[in-house]
Structure 1
Amino acid sequence: MTTETTRRLVLLRHGKAEWNDDADHERPLAERGRKDAPVAGRWLAGSGVTPDLALCSTAVRCRETWKLVVPELPERPRTAYDERIYDASPGELMAVLNEVSDEVENLVVVGHNPGMHALADALAGEADGDLPARLNRSGFPTSAIAVLTFAGTWKNVEVGTGRLAAFWAPHA
């Protein structure tokens, strides 16, 4: 009998961004985003999940969010910036997840809505308590975090294979 590794996927939506005339990809964090990102980092640090790897969208607001989250973590994970996460559909995000090395047990993805919300909803075949209702009622606001657990390899992550273990939002 083999014991399958439990993997944790942390989906982190970028902090609140400014609306301006810049190209969408180049929009920076607004003041609220700069305040909420470290709070999200503290929540993640207190959650007991220590990320091995972070995959972050190349968008300015995602990079800035991650830069403010990292100092709050007990250890700095290896970080890779992936342009495929920007404006990605749930299927495109799952394809990125399926490429993650099985050496990684705890993964953070820093990305955007509607993809992050749709991915959390699609992956969660099971959930603890009222988490699905909270997730869907909130709409996955900026700086929100969903934690999903999986058994097996990243290649096997697909619709309905995860358990929604936690959901947090700074203003919920």
Structure 2
Amino acid sequence: MTAENTRRLILIRHGKSEWSDVDDHERPLAAKGRKDAPAAGKWLAATGITPGTALCSTALRCRETWKLAAAELPQRPPTRFEDRLYDASLGELTALLNETSDEVTDLVVVSHNPGLHALADALAGDGEDGPLAQMRRGGFPSASVAVLTFDGPWKSLENGSGHLTHFWSPTA
């Protein structure tokens, strides 16, 4: 990968949410989610990963997760709240990422499972070592973070085109 063409995709699953009588889209974070979301942001800051742009699901639990995680970063990136991230499939997530401007080199996406786990797994392709093995063993728990790199424009992002460089989970 050449530095000028390398893209970094940071996937954050929303923190643990409360199960209540409200509409699924409006479920807030539970106490555990309010604790784990800032920890995800601290982990990103400690690793030196600083996203330049953020896409966040419009679901309340995602917005709350991002607010708490972003508060721990040295600088909060511009954020776009995206309806299409809510309940998005692997194909829908990939199509949305393919729309990203090539001016963006480091993108964070705050969204939901099972889509995020499927996306990280599909982009990372084959292999069973390191972060990929950790993610495949433990799944993609609430407030987890996967960091993938790939070479080329966003429109070329497809299954197997990335490399999972980091995986962090509050349960690890």
TM range, smaller chain: over 0.9
Amino acid in the other structure paired with 1:99: E
Question: Residues 95, 45 of structure 1: CA spacing in aligned structure 2 closer, same or farther, 3 A cutoff?
Answer: same
Partner Cα distance (2:148, 2:46) in 1: 16
Q: Considering only aligned residues, what root-mean-square deviation do their CA atoms show, in Å? A: 1.4
CA contact (8 A) 1:13 1:141 kept: yes
Alignment partner, residue 36 of structure 1:
36
Aligned residues: 171
Partner Cα distance (2:4, 2:128) in 1: 21
- Following superposition, the deviation at residue 4 of structure 1 comes to 4.8
Alignment partner, residue 89 of structure 1:
89
The alignment's TM-score, normalised by the length of structure 2, stands at 0.95
Partner Cα distance (1:128, 1:163) in 2: 12
What are the equivalent positions in structure 2 for 1:64-83 lying under 5 Å apart?
64-83=64-83
Alignment partner, residue 138 of structure 1:
138
SS state of the match for residue 19, structure 1? coil
CA contact (8 A) 1:8 1:49 kept: no
Alignment partner, residue 5 of structure 1:
5
For each residue in 1:1-25, what CA deviation from the matched residue of structure 2 results, as whole angstroms up to 9, or x when unmatched? x875111000000000000111110
- Following superposition, the deviation at residue 126 of structure 1 comes to 5.5
SS state of the match for residue 120, structure 2? helix
Amino acid in the other structure paired with 2:137: R
Partner Cα distance (1:126, 1:161) in 2: 10
Partner Cα distance (1:26, 1:38) in 2: 20
Amino acid in the other structure paired with 2:115: G
The alignment's TM-score, normalised by the length of structure 1, stands at 0.95
- Following superposition, the deviation at residue 46 of structure 1 comes to 1.4
Q: Which structure 1 segments of 5+ residues have no match?
A: none
What are the equivalent positions in structure 2 for 1:95-114 lying under 5 Å apart?
95-114=95-114
